Every structure is written in structure tokens, then in C-alpha cells.
Structure 1
Amino acid sequence: MLPHAVSFVAKSGTGKTTLLEKVIAELKNRGYRVGVIKHDAHHFDIDHPGKDSHRLTQAGADTMLISSPEKLAVIKKHAESPPIEELIAVYFGDVDLVLTEGFKKSGLPKIEVHRRERSGTLLCRGEAHDPSLLAVASDEPLQLDVPVLDLNNPSQVADFVEERIIHATD
């Protein structure tokens, strides 16, 4: 059984990461095990030159895992990004909830983050109407067909996630 999941989406610079940091802390305080997947449209590298892991990857390893007593990291080469559902199924079986940042084109339920000073339009209720939008976390009142949450109240956002995502199918 897959863990519950919701994607936080927004235009770059809107404050997705800042909101997620606070929502994660709130959910952790409530006793939930939380996983996060961050979408990166650019090329990132966590494997640095000079480190043994980098040398092994450069030598041709398709998958390289580094493990310590506190954590592990997997570097897995692929031709294209796997579907978000596959990532959740493979890597997140040990958590109660997966929060994703980005993945605006996925079919996951979504909470859009909106900041008035960043943009006057929404991604999921603009030119396109995304049926997977559950709510908008905004710093201004909006008239929408989904609930509008207070962007500056991470506890309220966590309440919504708990009610609509975690307990929705329990």
C-alpha cells in the first residue's frame, strides 16, 4: 500500500520550500513519519569530485548507495525521471505521508502556494483547470472552487493535509 501523498506546487520563488519546512515540522510534532520528494528541473549533483562515491559513479556504477549509521543516499542514473508514483512506491514505504515539491504535471493531489507579490495568476486555476487541486495556500483572499488556506499559518495547512490526505481514506 502506498503512503498518502500531496504535491505543493507554485511558480518559482513563491515560497514552497519555506511553507513545506513549517508544515513538515508541524506534522512531525503530531507524530507522523514524513517523506519529501523535491522536483528539480535542472541538473543537480550531490556526488562531489574527490569523494569515493563520486569516483565510483564516474567509473560507471549505474546505482551507487552510500550508507552511514545515521542516513543513506542513493545515486541512480536513469534516462528519464521515473513517474512520481514509482518513486513513492520504491522509496517511501516506511512513512505515513509523502510531500512533494513541484511535480505540477503529476496526477497527485495538489496544494498550490500563492503569493500576491510573486504572481497575479495561479497555475492550477489559470489557463488550465487542474482537477487534482485540493486547496490554495495564499497570502491574500481568493474566490475559488477549492478551500483557500492562510499561507502564513502552517498549522492550518497541516490540519488540512491531515484531514484531507492522511485521514481521507482511513
Structure 2
Amino acid sequence: MTPRVFGITGWKNSGKTTLTCKLVEEFTRRGFRVSTLKHAHHAFDVDHEGTDSHRHRQAGAGEVAIVSGRRWALMHELKDGPEPSMQEMLARLSPCDLVLIEGYKRESHPKIEVRRQAALDRAPLPDTDSSLRAIASDHAVDDAEVPVFSLDDVTAIADMIALETGLGETAA
């Protein structure tokens, strides 16, 4: 089963993560199971030098799973392999009602663009594949061809996403 997905995209420091977190809170308050998929453009590490899992990876393990009574994580080293596609990563997630995807601005899934005055780049993102469904902004957007929401109106943004994805108002 392909999960319902909706993206939150925008330039660096536009407020994508803040909006994503607020949407996760809103959808879970409504009773939905929500997962997130975040694309990073840089090297990142979820463990740090000196931890046992870091030592396992440094020793050459291709995958390292960390498990406790509260959570588990699986790290997969790509070495020189290609970055997995968004679809490949979606397939690895456990079943849920909605996946909110942060980043992946060049993919064709439906998405909302976040715009903030304080962002380093305030130019509109190109919408070459007509996947942009709305804009969330902290300033007036006059030339938009899609609905524009206040960046703080999380309820209305969540309502739009629920309608767009066929999710419904609350979990059954």
C-alpha cells in the first residue's frame, strides 16, 4: 500500500521544519499515525564518536541497529552507493496514515511551499511539474496561482492537506 504523502518544501531557513513539526502535532492530535521523511543535502550523523554504534560503523558494518525498550534506529551506510530515491525510502517506512516529506523539492509529490521574510532566498521555487498545491507565508504573496495560507494557520493548512490527500478530518 502506498502511503498518503504531502511535502513541505522551501529554501533554507524558510521554516520547513517548524511547520512540519506543527503539522505532525496537529495530525496526531486528530488521531492519525504520522511519519516523516526528511531530505538532507549534507552529511549527517545520528550517533557520535565514542558511542558503540559509531564504533561499529567505523569498523565497517554496513548497517547498525540500535534498540532499546523505548525506540530503535537503523543506520545504513551507503559507502559509494547512490542515494536512495524518495520512493525507496517511503517503502521502508512502517504503515501509517500520512507521511509528511520535508525537502525533496524537485520530486513530483503534492507539496506546500514555505516562505518566510527571514529566509536567505525568498524567490519562489520553480513549479515545473505542477505539484505545488499551496503556499504558507509570513508575508503577503500577491502573484500566487495556488492558495496562500498564513504560516501560523496550522489548522487550515492541515485541513487543506487532509482534503488534498483524502485523509479525512479525523482518524476513524
TM-score, normalised relative to structure 1: 0.89
Structure 2, unaligned runs of 5 or more: none
Q: Would the aligned equivalents of 2:134 and 2:149 in 1 still touch at CA under 8 Å?
A: yes
- Number of paired residues? 164
Aligned ranges 1:9-158 → 2 under 5 Å: 9-78=9-78, 79-91=81-93, 93-118=94-119, 119-125=121-127, 129-142=128-141, 143-158=143-158
How far apart, in 1, do the equivalents of 2:21 and 2:167 lie? Answer: 21
More deviation, 16-25/143-152: 143-152
Q: Give percent identity, aligned residues only.
A: 38
Aligned AA (1:141): A
How far apart, in 2, do the equivalents of 1:6 and 1:131 lie? Answer: 14
How far apart, in 1, do the equivalents of 2:118 and 2:55 lie? Answer: 45
The CA deviation at 1:13 is: 0.7
More deviation, 132-141/12-21: 132-141
The CA deviation at 1:130 is: 3.8
The CA deviation at 1:19 is: 1.1
Question: Could you report, residue by residue, the CA deviation over 1:26-84 in whole angstroms, capped at 9, with x for unpaired residues?
Answer: 11100011111111101001121211111111111111111111111111012221110
Q: Residue 36 of structure 1: SS of its match in structure 2?
A: strand
Aligned AA (2:105): K
Q: Would the aligned equivalents of 2:8 and 2:100 in 1 still touch at CA under 8 Å?
A: yes
Q: Would the aligned equivalents of 2:108 and 2:129 in 1 still touch at CA under 8 Å?
A: no
Where do 4+ consecutive residues of structure 1 move more than 6 Å? Answer: none
Q: Residue 136 of structure 1: SS of its match in structure 2?
A: strand
TM-score, normalised relative to structure 2: 0.88
Aligned AA (2:23): V
